[in-house]
Structure 1
Amino acid sequence: MRQFDNIGRIFRSADENDTLLSQVSQYHDSHLPTLWLLGKTGAGKSTLVQAITGNSDAEIGKGFRPCTRTARRFAFPEFKPVLQFVDTRGLSESGYDATEDIKICTKQGHALIIVMKMGDTEQGDVLRAIRQIKSSQQINNSLIVHTAAHSVQDLQERERLVRYNCGQVEETLGSETTSVAVDFKLPEGGTDGVEGLVSALSEMLPIVAVALRKRQCSDEEVKKFQQLQTKVLWYSGVSGVSDIVPGIGLVAVPGIQWKMLTDLAEPYGTKWNKSALAELLGALGAGIGFRYSLKFGTRQVVKFLPGWGQTVGAASAAVMSFCTTYAIGRVACKYMYHKNRNEDVSNEELRDLFYSAFDSVKAVAGQEVAGMSKADHLSQNASE
């Protein structure tokens, strides 16, 4: 068990540096993957957020916060957020200028969601904003969402309206754009097209598939983890951020992971300590811990190499830290779930889960790191 003593000390010492971890988490929360909602008042933007997050009308209303003179942001979840929605409210204002909103969304913006109500073909304000966004060359992914689809009963007329509005947008953008039709409030109750919407969003923003896609499951352990999944994703994102700056990740990542494990223990009715860490690492096997330490240390050293190390090294370290933190969190949840019930779980099952969890968030990690690197590059250019 002595092989785990140093690891335990590293985790505890990093956990004590609250100032550093606070700075890293603040940076993460100000560079969240962003879905930029662009549409007229009444198009259904807030309802869209409600439908895919599962939050109530009241939570959505209270959750939006002003971020520019003409836009507001909604972070999801409210605490330890992993993505955000930005709603542009000033489209109908005379002389609306999207410059400030573009600046906010390009910090970590990955997708422009153009929301149009079915049957509303007067989209001049929206098209003018799209034209300005296109000229900025900063937002490359876009999706058209036609809301209130069932308000037009005739299917042929519905298709004609979709083609017309898509044509307007595509002519403005100069390229083809994916579109989906949804109805968030059917007359008979329920919704239509929400799953297709989430799938389309997931193609542009992988975090959506992990954090927002609702999956039916009968396994109680998996259900429990799904309730905590965004928390694990948040800690993973913060771990990745810490590797953007040379040297910090070596100290911060173990501390962030320790905080995560301590935070996760409470919902399972247990406490996280050095003994629990040793048990978990022992169950996973020394191979995983050794390979991670070796790769982690190598990436930290590479980050200090002039030129190449500052880009490739930092990106590799950030992706590695994100995926490893997520995998550790996932395995720890399963471990604590069964331990609390005095149930056995095989070491092989835990190891397999570690690797599958690691692989499942590679796309998420890669996009987040690329987005942060892009934001830093834009900030540096702006200051020069």
Structure 2
Amino acid sequence: MSKTAQDLDPAVVPVLWLLGKTGAGKTSLVKALTGAGAVGSGFAPGTKAATVHDFPAIDPVVRFLDTRGLGEAGYDSSQDQAAAQRMANAALVVLRYDDPVQEPVAEIVRGLKIPVLLVFTGADLVPDDGARERMRAHTRKVIGRDLPFVSLSLPPEGMVTGLEALLDALDSFMPRASAALRRADEARDFLKRRPLVLRYASMAAASDMVPFVGAAAVPAAQGAMLQALAKRHNVALTPARLSLLASALGTGALVRLAAVHMVRQGAKLVPVAGQTLGAAAAAGASFATTYALGRAASAWLYGTARGAAPDAKTLRSLYDQALKGARDAAD
């Protein structure tokens, strides 16, 4: 959701001001963090006026105030700067590693009284550690003080890196915003894992078409899926971690799932109708529960790999949403 700067009320939702020169990567940063927003290209201006991106669009927990890039020909930024300084709760100052001319940005930063995080972009364009450190030292000199910083790569194509460090830094002054942005990042990460989960869910469904075969084959498929997901997330799925996952999902829910599964196996033995309708229902249910387990487990493994596994309420909500979605798709 995009608004004009005049629509802002920082007392309701905290505002993060994205400040930087044209082409620094401000709009690309919003897209990388939220999955929304237009992405600039090179040094061409990507933002034509000060805009606001709410995240999430419904009941937002953070607003990104994206002002026009400094250094555009014919653009007097003084009015936008004054408005932004009145509205913003904190500033993300975006600077490219390969652009040492940062005086216009430094002049504004020197007068800011709000928390400031320097976000250096283009780490992939300047791979030399020494060159990046010289750029940071130069920035400290022109600003006149030492400020916290993170380094990001925001290529138009390829892997974005450094977002985790940015979210860690945001934890210190906008914890709710950081938590919401982490959930968005996890959801994008799951899109890469989804084909794997669908493959195992289909295997579980296929094995559940034959009486009692699914009693062993479905749990085996689910176990193999958990191991495959853990490998993708670089997490060792030890018995202790499996116990934590079961606890977070709710032992009662897992027991009910197992009980329903056994009832479905018995229904497949009913002559004629049971062997057709019962088998189809069992296959559909096994697909849905396996998919839902994969969705919740992927979120748990994503958080575990980063030292912050989602709470039980969030995990069960993901499971329930995925289960409903898979069932609706099967109907």
TM-score range, shorter chain: 0.3 to 0.5
Greater helix share, structure number: 1
* Greater RCO (CA < 8 Å, at least 6 residues apart): 1
Q: TM-score, normalised by structure 2?
A: 0.48
Q: TM-score, normalised by structure 1?
A: 0.42
